[in-house]
Amino acid sequence: MWFEPIGSNWALDVRLNGESVPGFYTVYVQSGAAALRGVGPETERGYVVVLSLRGRLEAASRHEAVGCDARQGVVLSPIPEYTVRSESDAARMSIQLQRDAVAQRLAALLGTAPDAPLEFAPLLSLREGHGRSLARFVHLAIAELKRPDTVLFETATYCPRTAL
């Protein structure tokens, strides 16, 4: 992972908060200056959903760039590398699902393993359907994580469903 400020303001001004559970990783990124953040091929990538919490972003992968703001998120299918360009004072949430975890869950739902890797359309409307539900959940989770007494910090919260 790398981070590079854009323009004449080269002061490092970034906040990263992340949380990882089996098959799932989230990271909150906030930067004061316009910036370019990238993830290189050295790390295995899964499916990444990028939601803008403040400001405008652009996610680029496979020679395609997709804009992201409060109305539209971005879904990146497994790729070796990607970059996210953010404007000044932007904040975003990235949610990564491991490729194997998604394939296993899909096989369980379908009763058989898929023939080809799953690939999602890059645009995700946050104004309707599942995208709107996901955006509401992310905002609720962020508000809950700001509370010192949240259940989300409890280890039991991360127990797999089968272990309950």
Convert 49-83 to b/e letters by CB count within 10 Å (16 or more is b).
bbbbbebebbbbbeeeebebbeebbbbbbbeeebb
The tens digit of pLDDT for each residue in 53-109 reads 999 999 887 777 889 999 999 988 876 677 888 888 889 898 888 888 888 888 999
pTM of the model: 0.78
Domains and CATH numbers, the chain: 2-107+117-131 (2.60.120.10)
User: In 3D, which of 86, 81, 96, 83 has the Cα closest to residue 30?
Assistant: 86
pLDDT of 69: 93
Phi first, then psi: what are they for 141, rounded to 5°? -65, -40
- List C-alpha distances in Å: 73 to 40, 52, 130: 21, 7, 11
Contact status, residue 83 vs residue 29, Cβ threshold 8 Å? no
Contact status, residue 66 vs residue 59, Cβ threshold 8 Å? yes
Residues in the chain: 164
DSSP codes, 54-67: ES-EEEEETTEEEE
Of 3-17, 40-54, 75-89, the range with the lowest mean pLDDT is: 3-17
